[in-house]
Amino acid sequence: MYPMTNASLTVVQPFIRASQEPAMTRFAKPLLLETPCCHEKVMHQRFASVNSFGLSSRWSDGYTWMPMVSEASRLAYCPGCNRTYWLEDATELGVVPSFNENSAHKSRWLPRIFWKSQNEGNIDVEAQVELNDLDFVDYHKHPRPADLLLAVLREEWSNPERELYLRTRLWWIGNHGKRGRRMLSPMSDEQATDNMLSLLALHRAAPVLDQDAKAIAELLRQFGRFDEALSALSSYGEDSGRATAIKAAATRGESGVFEVETF
């Protein structure tokens, strides 16, 4: 399961519909997409509202975990050609029409239950597609950790921002073992180090006003470069809870990732 972060929620709009109600986690109608690689049709699930009931956790490297909620990922795995693609590069065909009760989708009871209150007043444009054609369309899959590593090795990005996104997620995956997560990293120690160094360079290459001081400091701290980590936070005047926690850990000479807060 991947993390749901505020940043990822913002970036993948309009793939996620926001709800103003502090309700339980609910699904919105999925979008019908056409993949940019082989023009395969896939369904993209969206959340209408998200509530973690105080069980979510945020970590020093920026990773945020919500129980039973997968990440609003910008990447997907194409079932047609078995490649990773960027969701924003896919063609949006509209929301999936009401399911044909005689189709194979009848077994997809979970989304149907959660859609009930969301369908009222839904102004999304429905995709112009024959319902029978949806019998052969499934939800897209999140890429596996090994797929993300392969995407980095293949340099499957068109700008530094996308590279930053990919490398950040690999960094998080490399830290999962220290979080107690049962997810093996696909990277060797050398690859993990190279990825962190490249990520640090990307952050530092960004315009000063756009630089993420907390990420820079945390990368330096995990490398054991504690004085540089403290200097990075001081230079940017960071005083958030996460920055304070990173500073305290660097002062103690601790390099491991740690949980900052629950919410």
Per-residue pLDDT tens for 196-209?
A: 999 999 999 999 88
Spatial separation of the C-alpha atoms in residues 224 and 162, rounded to whole Å: 27
Residue 55 DSSP one-character state: -
Contact between 260 and 59 under an 8 Å Cβ cutoff? The reply is: yes
Provide the pLDDT confidence category of residue 107 given band limits of 50, 70 and 90.
very low
Assess whether pLDDT exceeds 70 at residue 116.
no
Tens-digit pLDDT profile for residues 153-166: 999 999 999 999 99
Token representation of residue 169:
């997620």
Contact 189, 231 (CB under 8 A): no
For residues 209 and 128, give the distance between their C-alpha atoms in angstroms, rounded to a whole number. 44
DSSP code, position 190: H
The residues spanned by each domain of the chain are 6-136, 145-258
How many whole angstroms separate alpha carbon 143 and alpha carbon 73? 9
Q: Is the pLDDT of residue 144 over 80?
A: yes
**108 SS3 class:** coil
Q: Is the pLDDT of residue 12 over 80?
A: no
**Torsion angle of the four alpha carbons 176, 141, 64, 164, in this order, in degrees rounded to the nearest 10:** 80
The pTM is what?
0.75
Band the pLDDT of 14: cuts 50, 70, 90: very low
